[in-house]
Each structure stands twice: as C-alpha cells, then as structure tokens.
Amino acid sequence: MAKRKIQLILNSSQEHLGKSGSIVQVAQGYARNYLLPQKIAEPVTKNKLSYIKYQKTRQDLINQEKRKLAIDIKSQLEAINKFSIKRKVSDNNNIFGSITDKDINEIITQTTGITLEKYQITMPSIKTIGLYDISIQLMNEINIQLKLQLLPETT
C-alpha cells in the first residue's frame, strides 16, 4: 500500500521541513495529526500561493535595499580603513582593561556616523598595544576588514 502525500505551506520555519512559506510534501497522517492542529502548516490554496509569491517579491525588494545600504556603508568604512585608540598602559605594554566591541562601535560612530550592532563586529581579545584586525559583517556576503591600532596614552 503506497503512502499518500499531501502538500502544505509552512507557517513557521521547521528544522527538518524547511523555511516559513515553503511548500512541503508530507504524509497525510503527519499533516492531519501534528502540522495542521499545531498550526505549523496550512493546506495549499491559490490565494495562499499568490500571497506567498507577493511576500517573496516584497522581501526581495527589501533585501535589495538593505544590500545597497550595506555596500554604501562598506565603501565609507573602507575609505577610513584604520582606527586608533589610546589607552593607559602598564610597564609591560598591557592596557588597563580591554577593548570591546562597544568601544569599536563608539569610534566608528564618532568618525563616520554609522552605528553597527554588537553581533556584526568580530574581533580578537585585545589586552596589549599593537595592530589588530577587526572584521565587520554587514550582510551574509558583505564583510569588511578594518585595522585597529592601539596606542599608549601619554600623560
């Protein structure tokens, strides 16, 4: 006896099925007993298909705008390329405290007016004077490498 499959539209992203809005084929029992009562999926209709198509085109337009903005931000940051921070230093060139992504964000905001999110900045642990590479991820494919120079503060 062949198992019959049914097509459903996912309302929410499921790890084993797919992303929200995608059309999946599942067994009738799985759909009837789990996906439909939990409102994880809905049956496929013409109206829902056209709505999904509309949402995808809308999301594509939004992503294009975000991509243009990210490219503009990238060009502004690449023009600067190197930031310098002065901190108090001990005798063996260790700084008092450490440099965090909040400090990096403040410097970028002061110099360019661009505010980044904490999760976008990737940096090593900075505890001594020197030159460090900072990675900033604006979007999935748009990354920037900046240099951070840590200098001793003269008193």
- Domains of the chain: which residue ranges? 5-44, 80-152
Q: How many alpha carbons fall within 13 Å on the CB side of residue 55?
A: 10
| Close Cβ partners of 51 (under 8 Å, ≥ 6 residues apart) | none
Residue 131: what pLDDT?
92
Are 5-44 and 80-152 the same fold in CATH?
no
Report the predicted TM-score, pTM, of the whole model to 2 decimal places: 0.67
User: Which CATH number is correct for 5-44, 3.40.50.720, 3.40.5.10, 2.60.40.10, 3.50.50.60?
Assistant: 3.40.5.10
Residue 2: what pLDDT?
64
| Close Cβ partners of 76 (under 8 Å, ≥ 6 residues apart) | 112, 114
Whole-angstrom distance, CA of residue 81 vs CA of residue 122: 15
Whole-angstrom distance, CA of residue 80 vs CA of residue 137: 16
User: Which CATH number is correct for 80-152, 3.90.1150.10, 3.40.710.10, 2.40.110.10, 3.10.430.100?
Assistant: 3.10.430.100
Residue 87 main-chain phi, psi, to 5 deg: -140, 155
Q: Identity (one letter) of the amino acid at 61?
A: L
* pLDDT tens-digit profile, the chain (155 residues): 567 899 999 999 888 999 888 899 999 999 999 999 999 999 999 998 898 899 889 999 999 999 999 999 899 888 888 888 888 988 888 888 888 889 889 998 998 888 889 899 999 888 889 999 999 998 888 899 999 999 988 76
Residue 1: what pLDDT?
56
